[in-house]
Amino acid sequence: MNFASDNVYGIHPRILAAISEANSGTTPSYASDDYSKRAEEALCEVFEKPVRAFLVTTGTAANGLALSAIAPPYGAVICHAEAHISCDECNSPEHFTGGAKIIGLRGAGGKITPAAIEKTLNGFIRGEHDPKPAAVSLTNATELGTLYSPAEISAISALIKPRGMKLHIDGARFANAVAGLGVSPAEATWKSGVDVMSFGATKNGAMLLEAVIFFDTELAEDFAYRRMRAGQLVSKSRYLGAQMLAYLKDGLWLENARRANALAQRLAKGLLSSNSLRIPHPVQANEVFTVMPRRLYDELQGAGVRFFDWMPDGLGLDGIKEDEILARFVLSFATPEEDVDRFVDLMRLKRVA
């Protein structure tokens, strides 16, 4: 029973088959292949507008490179304090932007609000002694499994655009966000004011595949050079393009996300049957967070259940006791239903005990 991450599971069979199919014959390299070109066309269809899309291999590279196109070395990027770009990418955004400052804000449920952003921007009163506010980066779905609605994204866009700032989405779990919100990809991005996004696929069935997507295509003018300089222009790029085509074909990306989200709901319902646990905020995507006794966490780990304890600060939670932890469970498109049910049964036994 492994709920540690959606990265622990493998490649969806249809994507693996597409990689195998692309393995025959010869084709141009370095993103000049037909697979990569058709992948960009397919992303234009998904987002209902012409976009520029650049395939890369990791979410860290996608985020750093995307931000490098909208934030200068003397700029500031505002995000949630527990966003991946702030906590988990080893200064990659600062590296790729040439030194832009990442400013993390606290916010309940892993989200930041227009009020918090405005308060921060009002503190930039020292002219060139401060970094220049350049961008806001939102994670959707957030690190805590919550979702920004189109209305919330639009409100942030309306606040920052008059200031000349750009809006970025870290979409490592974007498929889960779209499936959870029940809106179109367009509504969750450019129609709400997003300029550029990191579009994730690896966590949702691909082998290694992310894309930097520019809705404001003028921002992509020199991005091919940025990707090359970062070592992200893959020579056998057809394998990235083939993955993306299979990922998007017949809505596989949303099918996978809906299954993972549904399993998260199933798990949450089962966890709530235990009086030893509480779920501090609604489950909206494929992650479930619960407060549990540390003793129970240790027992479950000893029983072979894999999941992580998590930092409670970003939730704005009060009342977590010294002998309790915040635990994170992540569901995948490939998580067996039986594992969810077995774990729920195990929790019922623990409750009885």
The reported pLDDT for the residue numbered 162 is 97
Would you kindly state where each structural domain of the chain is located, as residue ranges?
13-251, 253-352
Burial of 299: CB neighbours in 10 Å, binned 0-12, 13-18, 19+: middle
- Tokens 């590279």 -> residue: 61
CB 168 within 8 A of CB 216: no
Closest by CA to 69, choosing from 158, 134, 145, is 134
Sheet order of strands, 166-171 included: 52-56, 210-214, 196-200, 166-171, 132-139, 75-80, 101-105
The reported pLDDT for the residue numbered 6 is 95
Closest by CA to 239, choosing from 12, 6, 30, is 30
Give a three-class secondary structure readout of 202-266: HHHCCCCCEEEEECCHHHHCCHHHHHHHCCCCCCCCHHHHHHHHHHHHHHHHHHHHHHHHHHHHH
Q: Residue 326 pairs with which residues in a beta bridge?
A: 291, 310
CATH of domain 253-352: 3.90.1150.10
The reported pLDDT for the residue numbered 353 is 45
The reported pLDDT for the residue numbered 179 is 98
The reported pLDDT for the residue numbered 31 is 94
**What are 98's two structure tokens?**
């040439």
> What is the DSSP secondary-structure string of 270-299?
HHTT-TT-B--S---SSEEEEEEEHHHHHH
d(CA 257, CA 175) in angstroms, rounded, equals: 6
Mutual angle of helices 252-271 and 174-181, in 10-degree steps: 70
The reported pLDDT for the residue numbered 278 is 87
Which helix (H) or strand (E) element contains residue 187? none
Torsion angle (degrees, nearest 10) of CA 271, 273, 278, 281 = 70
pTM: 0.95
The reported pLDDT for the residue numbered 316 is 60
Amino acid (1-letter code) at residue 207: M
Angular region, 350: left φ>0, alpha ψ -120 to 50, beta rest: alpha
The reported pLDDT for the residue numbered 350 is 64
In sequence order, the 6+-apart residues with CB closer than 8 A to the CB of 131 are 74, 75, 76, 100, 101, 124
CATH of domain 13-251: 3.40.640.10
Q: Residue 55 pairs with which residues in a beta bridge?
A: 211
d(CA 346, CA 127) in angstroms, rounded, equals: 59
Low-confidence ranges of the chain (pLDDT < 50): 352-353
d(CA 33, CA 196) in angstroms, rounded, equals: 24
